[in-house]
Structure 1
Amino acid sequence: MRIPRPVRAAALVALPAALLIACSATDDGPRAGGSTTAAGAGSATVTAGPERTAAAATEEATSPAAGSRPSPEKVRDAFAGLQATLDDGCTSEGQCAYFLGRVYDELERLDRAMKADPKGPDHFPEPIEWIAGLRTTIGPDRSYPNLKAHREELVGTRDRINTWMQGHPDDYR
């Protein structure tokens, strides 16, 4: 049986996204601040049984319950996401585009978590300042060519924050 090309393409996007959501879940449920954009937050029909799509499962898993707001993500969880990029790099153009986009996203995620932390943003002045500086340097253009042009600043900011956080173990343990 030949699977139509659009179905195969959707599966290539939805399955990794569903696995990412499943792998990033905590004991309290899906990671707060998760996004359905990777799975194409379009209108997927949720059905029971094997017909249920990975995109539908992802969308359902990341949608907060009606009337509830997700709690701010913990700095520890956001920092773990940033640390997960430490062993990555640019080995090919496609992998480099993913890597640089992920580093940028993880820095933004950590910035949001630090600003929402009960200790307050004043507890994390340097990392928040470094991320703001990077945001200004990169500007609104999140394209791969622009991120690649600012690769040193992007990776340097990640590394500085990693070093800073290592000196503040109570904030991520």
Structure 2
Amino acid sequence: MFTSSVRSTAVAVIALAALCVSCGADPSTDRPQAVTTTVATVPTSAADAASDAASAEASAGVTPPPTAPDVAPPERVRDAFAGLQATLGDACTPGNCAYFLGRVYDELHRLDRAMKADPKGAGHFARPIELIARLDAELAGDRSFENLKRHQTLLVGTRDRINTWMQGHPDDYR
């Protein structure tokens, strides 16, 4: 695999050199002008190739884009709990019920992920995580509006029980 990379690099260098010569013609005489080219060496290792590429970018004034982190940092329990609390004033009203139930479901799972990723450990949040696991078992993977509506009492009750538990643990959300 590495040799094909070296070959590709060599072919690209040769093609660029040929292009430089053909682009160097004097338009008034159609004669080639003197063109100074630098012959690139073919890197002998992947490290050399990476170093050569970085040098070429630096000399061309190209700044490589910053690399994104591999994994986004986990959401804080405090922020996820605030999202769940924002559902407390809403209800399943005509025209809003599907949104409301879907949002309660989403906010519960957002909080679940945050609790499991919290430095205090999932054991600290055992009761709320257990309540969400029970809800998930009842929903059996079906988060359709019809299924959420059928389990509305359990869904809203889970939200309310977790809210009560969190109120008893203010250090987790302040």
Pick the TM interval, shorter chain.
0.5 to 0.7
Instruction: Give the Cα separation in 2 of the matches to 1:67 and 1:108.
Output: 23
Instruction: Give the Cα separation in 2 of the matches to 1:91 and 1:67.
Output: 41
Question: How does 1:92-107 map onto structure 2 within 5 Å?
Answer: 92=94, 94-107=95-108
Counterpart secondary structure, 1:124: helix
Do structure 1's residue 146 and structure 2's residue 160 form an aligned pair?
no
Larger Rg: 2
Q: Unaligned regions of 5+ residues in structure 2, if any?
A: 1-66
Q: Identity rate of aligned residues, in percent?
A: 72
Partner of 1:75: 77
Instruction: Give the Cα separation in 2 of the matches to 1:95 and 1:101.
Output: 10
Counterpart code for 2:117: A
Q: Count how many residue pairs are aligned between Structure 1 and Structure 2.
A: 108
Give the structure-2-normalised TM-score. Answer: 0.60
Instruction: Give the Cα separation in 2 of the matches to 1:112 and 1:155.
Output: 19
Do structure 1's residue 123 and structure 2's residue 124 form an aligned pair?
yes
Residue 67 of structure 1 deviates from its aligned partner by 4.0
- Structure 1 stretches of at least 4 aligned residues deviating more than 4 Å after TM superposition: none
Counterpart secondary structure, 1:131: helix
Q: Unaligned regions of 5+ residues in structure 1, if any?
A: 1-64
Structure 1 vs Structure 2 CA RMSD: 1.0
Counterpart secondary structure, 2:96: helix
Residue 84 of structure 1 deviates from its aligned partner by 0.2
Instruction: Give the Cα separation in 2 of the matches to 1:113 and 1:103.
Output: 15
Give the structure-1-normalised TM-score. Answer: 0.61
